[in-house]
Structure 1
Amino acid sequence: MSEKGFFSKFKDGLAYALLNPEFDDDFYEELEEILVMGDIGVNTAEKIIARLKEKVKTDYIRKTADLKNALISIISEMMMTPEDAYDFEKVPSVILLIGVNGVGKTTTAGKLAGKYKNEGKKVLLAAADTFRAGATEQLKEWALRTGVDIIASGDNADPASVIYDAVNAAKARNVDILICDTAGRLHNKKNLMEELKKISRIIEREYPGVKRENLVVLDATTGQNALNQAKEFSEVCDLTGIVLTKLDGTAKGGIVVAIEDELTVPVKFAGVGEKVSDLKRFEAGNFVKALMDNDIKAEEELFKMDTKTEKINE
């Protein structure tokens, strides 16, 4: 199955490396190569190996099983989700979705709307991607599909004015969660990056004190490119979380580890399919178990649909 391809390949490589009875330089070099090939990245892989060597030394690790557990512990520590990661769901909040074109921002906005609507929350969508042809219509379709209200304007309208209208509508209607779709932008497009700052200022001015959630949407299949995109956006926006789309179709699942390690920004949601219910909270514990153990249950938990959203008419 494609969604488990990365896990099976990684575990096969790990099992082969662990056949080496000596934890010598050759072993660590081979293990590092396995990590890099899984798109964990050179920097993070080197960090993992350095910590593993230290742990082997200080804990007098001599057995393969103990070394594997040490590796699990090290990667788990890199991926610990903060206790307050989902606090925004408990209070009125504004979710701003950002990212480059083609990563699935509009689809993510629609799926999040469906998820929260079905959890009993009052949700409002804002169609602030006014540059991409058809983006507003696409989000309107999601609004209709999920039964959520939407604030929208025509193509080429001022995105900041859409956000202004949406924020004030959210306040007037006592909305629990306002989800804002924005135009795809690249770090080298200065005007679009400036527009992102303008949007943030409008939210701060018009809705002071509201809980802010700035989620960068990344395509898992792009591997290290996704990490580079996240780094660029983190320079102009205070990122609070990551949505990783297409996790079900990638052989580069290790990018999750690299992102959390290098950015210290948690992956909060993962897209593992096409349905509304296939956008779910990212469970780091299940990810590490699926990555390191022959834990079929962990893989099934990681990729199963969120039954809470099954009532959405799809």
Structure 2
Amino acid sequence: MDVSWIPGDSDLVVALIAGLVVIGGVAAAVVGKARQAPPRPAPPRTAPPRPSQGDDAAVAPAPEAPSEGEAPARETAVEAPEAVDHRFGRLRRRLGTGLGESLLAIFRRGSLSQDDWDELEETLLLADVGAGATDALLTDLRARLKATPDADPRAVLRAALLDVVDPTLDRSLALGAAGDGALHTAIVVGVNGVGKTTTVGKIARVLVAQDRTVVLGAADTFRAAAADQLETWGARVGVPVVRAHVDGADPASVAYEAADRARAESAEVLLVDTAGRLQNKQGLMDELGKIVRVVSKVSPPSEVLLVLDATTGQNGLTQARVFGQVAPLTGIVLTKLDGTAKGGIVLAVQRELGVPVKFVGLGEGADDLAPFDPEGFVDSLLGQ
């Protein structure tokens, strides 16, 4: 570079220019690397807690509300086959190490003595099968073994258990078909803590996945948390929830308002959550009967589902009998079945009430409410 025209010390000027060139090159290299560097990964988002299995648990926070005029997104409840297999695998491991293991241990002894039959009876009673169902099952087993003495005892036991569960019963929800233009109503009843509100939310999730339009009625006005919990589920699956405007409102009026809204919006299914009424409080049981009568003015209930906790055993049968006096029960939902190694309550309910078990709870996840499969249950019981 010719710097002869610059006044002063030319060597000093040359050095300054060279320094500027070097600094510019370094800056350009840094900028280039910054442009090529991959973006930093965003911090992981924490999923909101799920609503609890029990009615009395703390309510999970509702999802973020959509902007004005925007409908909340619906969740899809389609289950992958492997998820279903894993779910029933838990039940198989649980029941197979309880009642099923005890029964098979007795039958492997070959010819049964009277002591063996007595032990068998005790085993069934301890597993919450109930006196009536136990007597019927033992009578059937004796007849089968006498008629086919060379038969595999395991196969004989499976056939007898399957007859008690009765695979011929219709276990589908009587809520019509999508697009039939009618409003179908289901009322969900049961005592506190069995999981009624969660069951309503999970059934709504299944119906939405079938492209059904659903309205939820929060008729449990005795416990404000129940309505909050149901609203969480409603927001989660994208369905409206009708609830009381004040605490302690008349449950029947809320149920009627929900039915009226469902009819006005041409909804296909109305699911009504009721209070956890104790069977020894006649006034509350009368209130349940009033809900049924009021809703019937708009849409007679085609389903009255009783939610039972499978871990309560024979107490569940008592609850079922009392609720059946107030409303005609059409189906049983057995929650927390994966939490007991007994499982005999299924046999007792089927035989003594004649009301089919339609759903079973096999966990606390949103997809852990499964249609009851008689053969799958018996096989799980026997560890097959």
> Same fold, TM exceeding 0.5?
yes
Deviations 1:147-176 (A, max 9, x none): 111111132111111111111111111211
C-alpha displacement at 1:212, in angstroms?
1.3
* Partner-residue secondary structure (3-state), 1:252: coil
Q: Bigger shift: 12-21 or 243-252?
A: 12-21
**Given the two structures, how large is their TM-score scaled by the length of structure 1?**
0.86
Which residue identity is paired with 2:284?
A: L
Instruction: Map 1:35-50 onto structure 2 (within 5 A).
Output: 35-50=124-139
Which residue does the alignment assign to 2:314?
224
Q: Work out the CA distance in 2 between the residues paired with 1:137 and 1:147.
A: 15
2:324 to 221, 234, 237: 234
Q: Work out the CA distance in 2 between the residues paired with 1:19 and 1:269.
A: 32
Which residue does the alignment assign to 2:238?
147
Which residue does the alignment assign to 1:276?
366
Which residue does the alignment assign to 1:126?
217
Q: Work out the CA distance in 2 between the residues paired with 1:86 and 1:109.
A: 13
Which residue identity is paired with 1:86?
A: L
Q: Does the Cα contact within 8 Å between 2:170 and 2:356 map onto a contact in 1?
A: no
C-alpha displacement at 1:219, in angstroms?
0.6
Which residue does the alignment assign to 2:173?
86
C-alpha displacement at 1:102, in angstroms?
0.7
Q: Work out the CA distance in 1 between the residues paired with 2:175 and 2:206.
A: 14
Runs of 4+ residues over 4 Å off in structure 1: none
Q: Work out the CA distance in 2 between the residues paired with 1:64 and 1:16.
A: 16
Which residue identity is paired with 2:203?
A: L
Bigger radius of gyration = 2
Which residue does the alignment assign to 1:285?
375
Q: Work out the CA distance in 1 between the residues paired with 2:210 and 2:367.
A: 12
* Partner-residue secondary structure (3-state), 2:358: strand
C-alpha displacement at 1:134, in angstroms?
1.4
Q: How many residues align?
A: 289
C-alpha displacement at 1:84, in angstroms?
6.5
The runs of 5 or more residues in structure 1 that have no matched partner are: 296-314
Which residue does the alignment assign to 2:62?
none
Which residue does the alignment assign to 1:262?
352
C-alpha displacement at 1:228, in angstroms?
1.4
Deviations 1:101-145 (A, max 9, x none): 111111111111111111111011000000013111111111111
Which residue identity is paired with 2:120?
A: L
Which residue identity is paired with 1:62?
A: P
Deviations 1:64-106 (A, max 9, x none): 61x3323222221222252374332426311101011111111
Which residue does the alignment assign to 1:303?
none
Q: Work out the CA distance in 2 between the residues paired with 1:185 and 1:11.
A: 34
Which residue identity is paired with 1:142?
A: W
* Partner-residue secondary structure (3-state), 2:286: helix
1:26 to 96, 103, 115: 115
Q: Work out the CA distance in 2 between the residues paired with 1:186 and 1:24.
A: 44
Q: Work out the CA distance in 2 between the residues paired with 1:125 and 1:274.
A: 21
The runs of 5 or more residues in structure 2 that have no matched partner are: 1-88
C-alpha displacement at 1:62, in angstroms?
1.8
Deviations 1:190-229 (A, max 9, x none): 111111111111122222xx55100011111111111211
Identify, as 1 or 2, the structure richer in helix: 1
Q: Work out the CA distance in 1 between the residues paired with 2:199 and 2:208.
A: 14
2:150 to 54, 60, 63: 63
* Partner-residue secondary structure (3-state), 1:124: strand
Deviations 1:243-273 (A, max 9, x none): 1111111123111111111101011011111
Structure 1's 146 and 250: CA in aligned 2 closer, same or farther, altered over 3 A? same
Q: Work out the CA distance in 2 between the residues paired with 1:194 and 1:11.
A: 40
Which residue does the alignment assign to 1:157?
249
Q: Does the Cα contact within 8 Å between 2:145 and 2:151 map onto a contact in 1?
A: no
* Partner-residue secondary structure (3-state), 1:235: helix
C-alpha displacement at 1:9, in angstroms?
2.2
Which residue does the alignment assign to 1:136?
227
**Given the two structures, how large is their TM-score scaled by the length of structure 2?**
0.71
